Amino acid sequence: MANTRIDWIDELKGLGMLFVVIGHNVGIWLNAPDLARAIYLFHMPLFFFTTGLTTDLLGAAGLNVRRVIVVAIQYLVLSIGMIPVGVLFNGNGSLTAQLAGILYGTGHTIDVTPLWFLPCLACALTYILCIGNAMKLVGVKSIEPLTIVLIATALSFVGAWALNFLHGEYQYILDWGSVHESGTFWGADVAILGSAFVLFGIGWRVYGARLGGPLLNFGFVAGAVIALAFAVRYGVRTDLHFRRFSPSIFALLCSLIGIVGSIGLINLLARIEYVGRALSVVGRSSLIVLVLHNGLQNRGAKVSLLPVLGDGFLYWAVAASLAVVLPVAIDRLIIRKVALLNSIVYPRIHWLARSHRSGVDCAPR
């Protein structure tokens, strides 16, 4: 099964990336802010969850270490590669300050804000690696559902507590603001919470299913929409970039409800062949969409489309579509076709994987 991709996971990642694009669309926040808030309740937890779907908690340590290294390399390569864009659009001319911000690695210290997810994911995977090694050290041979749920729930509350605890006014040497504003090195605080959702994904991969027939899936989707609407109405808020996850128990429940609803929606949409294929394509190119979507729809479109379409629904819809289609085209037609670019953006650490050929290949694509 080496290098095997699982279609429905790619489709789920594709749907998640559409949620990210919509949630970052300025027009949505101006015209339908409650929709954006509902998406924020689960869209980043969903990506940690999908990571868990391809993670083996008790598997070969080398493969998991490899994945951490690959994600870290991708973050450094992409963030450094985007420095000229920051200089062009933001006027950030200090190379030293930009490199320092990239090294610290949170969404408040780098120009391409969505890239905060990659170093945070590397930290979350490191926590998962430590948990897996600890479980093997005490003789755990198999994953029990109750164990996964208990550990993941505990991590989620520890993570939520950490976010609140770090609501201080400590100033970093580089004057990035308070801990609450900038977060800890590589988002290690948010990664505690992220690792909880990775664990939920691991549990789903081992014991979960695709939720059954269309009627049941429709019920999960409808239930998720209603639950998230009520949550937004009564003040539940999640924004991992800004360290918001409150009230903790309701935020956790809403994240899980949104994830299950997303799986149900994927099952329904995938019944339409071309929709399923399109989502799978977006999922496979999700890394490049993550890097480019914000700048394309909120900056690039303003220059190229706003004078033509005006500041209305059509403009924001076209901008969001552009933010998905163009990165996918760049990924599939340029990056994956040019061997050098492909090896840089999607590195393979063969020296760690050489002796671990079995199982699902978890390296990000």
Per-residue pLDDT of the chain (365 residues; tens, 9 = 90+): 344 568 899 999 999 999 999 999 988 998 899 999 999 999 999 999 999 999 988 887 778 899 999 999 999 999 999 888 766 666 555 778 788 888 888 888 888 889 999 999 999 999 999 999 999 898 888 888 888 889 999 999 998 888 777 654 444 444 445 555 667 889 998 999 999 999 999 999 887 666 778 899 999 999 999 999 999 999 999 998 888 888 889 999 999 999 999 999 999 998 898 999 999 999 999 999 999 999 888 887 777 777 777 778 888 888 899 999 999 999 999 999 999 999 999 998 765 544 444 334 433 33
Q: Let me know: does 350 contact 343? Beta carbons within 8 Å.
A: no
Q: Is 276 part of any domain?
A: yes
Q: Let me know: does 364 contact 348? Beta carbons within 8 Å.
A: no
SS3 sequence, 271-332?
CCHHHHHHHHHHHHCHHHHHHHHHHHHHHHHHHHCHHHHCCCHHHHHHHHHHHHHHHHHHHH
Distance, in Å, from the CA atom of 259 to the CA atom of 262, rounded to the nearest integer, reads: 5
Q: Is 2 part of any domain?
A: no
Q: Let me know: does 13 contact 280? Beta carbons within 8 Å.
A: no
Q: Is 364 part of any domain?
A: no
The boundaries of the domain holding residue 234 are: 7-353
Q: Is 362 part of any domain?
A: no
User: Tokens 């037609």, residue?
Assistant: 333
Distance, in Å, from the CA atom of 280 to the CA atom of 180, rounded to the nearest integer, reads: 36
Cis peptide, bond prior to residue 247, ω within 30 of zero: yes
- Give CA torsion, residues 184, 116, 201, 129, to 10 deg: -50
Count of alpha carbons within 13 angstroms of residue 310, beta-carbon side: 3
User: Tokens 């394509």, residue?
Assistant: 281
Residue 21, number of CB atoms within 10 A of its CB: 27
Q: Is 294 part of any domain?
A: yes
SS3 sequence, 28-45?
HHHHCHHHHHHHHCCHHH
Q: Is 1 part of any domain?
A: no
Q: Is 361 part of any domain?
A: no
pTM over 0.95: no
Report the number of distinct structural domains present in the chain.
Answer: 1
Q: Is 55 part of any domain?
A: yes
